[in-house]
Structure 1
Amino acid sequence: MNTVIQRILGLAAPAFSDSGRPVNRVPVEQIRESLLALLHDCRDMRTQRLIYKVNVAKTPAELWLLRSDLHQCIAQTHSQSEAAERINSLIDVFEGWLPAGQLLRI
């Protein structure tokens, strides 16, 4: 596959590591499944639109940017503290895909 296409799809994105040691990154599909799992008990129309956005996102960076939408859907069904707890549980799956400075807890 062409390197440019791989970079666009996030398949050849540089691994981010603050320690300089090799990073084992979670596959993009597994990240996608992790996000969708957070919405397992949310059933409104907003959630359906978000599920579509998660499914069409091509890169881990695009998936990371959906955290705010995830938070809103979960908070609407449960509470803000539940939403924050669920969103913060995602940080590990994004390690190596994004700089550590972006992997902030809510």
Structure 2
Amino acid sequence: MNTVIKRILGMATPAFSDSGRQVNRLPVEQVRESLQALLHDCRCMRSQRVLYKINVAQTPADLWLLRSDLHQCIAQTHSQSEAAERINSLIEVFEGWLPAGQLLRI
């Protein structure tokens, strides 16, 4: 399989595990869909830009960096506490893709 395709599918990067055990991580497309789902009821122009960024992000690390943008959209439509709750629900989606030290709650 071509290296670019492996990278897109997340097969070229090792799974992170602090305990040394095998980590089952979600496919990149499921990670992407999880982020998109957080904006399901946000209809502002900013949310359209964030959805575009989610769609063009190439790696789970790129997607993880969009949390701030997601937070702003959700907080604008709902509240900061709702935004924090939704963003924190992403932590398990990124397990295995990022070191545990980066998977911090808001």
TM-score by length of 1: 0.93
Shift of residue 8 of structure 1?
4.8
Other-structure match for 2:40: 40
Q: What SS is found at the alignment partner of 1:11?
A: coil
Aligned to 1:97: 97
**How far apart are residue 6 of structure 1 and its match?**
5.3
Report the equivalent of 2:66.
66
Q: Distance in 1 between matches of 2:49 and 2:24?
A: 31
**Aligned-residue CA RMSD (Å):** 1.3
Could you tell me how far 1:17 is from its partner in structure 2?
Answer: 0.2
- Inter-partner Cα distance in structure 2 for 1:65 and 1:2: 26
Identity %: 82
CA-CA distance at 1:100 after TM superposition: 0.3
Once residues 47 and 57 of structure 1 are traced to their aligned partners in structure 2, the CA distance between those partners, rounded to angstroms, is 15
Q: 1:2 Cα shift?
A: 3.7
Please give the per-residue CA displacement for 1:62-81, whole angstroms capped at 9, x wherever unaligned.
00000000000000000000
Take 2:79 and 2:6, find their aligned partners in 1: how far apart are those partners? Answer: 37
Amino acid at match of 1:103: L
Structure-1 separation of matches of 2:92 and 2:48: 25
Deviations 1:19-74 (A, max 9, x none): 11100000000000000000000001100010000011111000000000000000
TM-score, length of structure 2 as denominator length: 0.93
Number of matched residues?
105
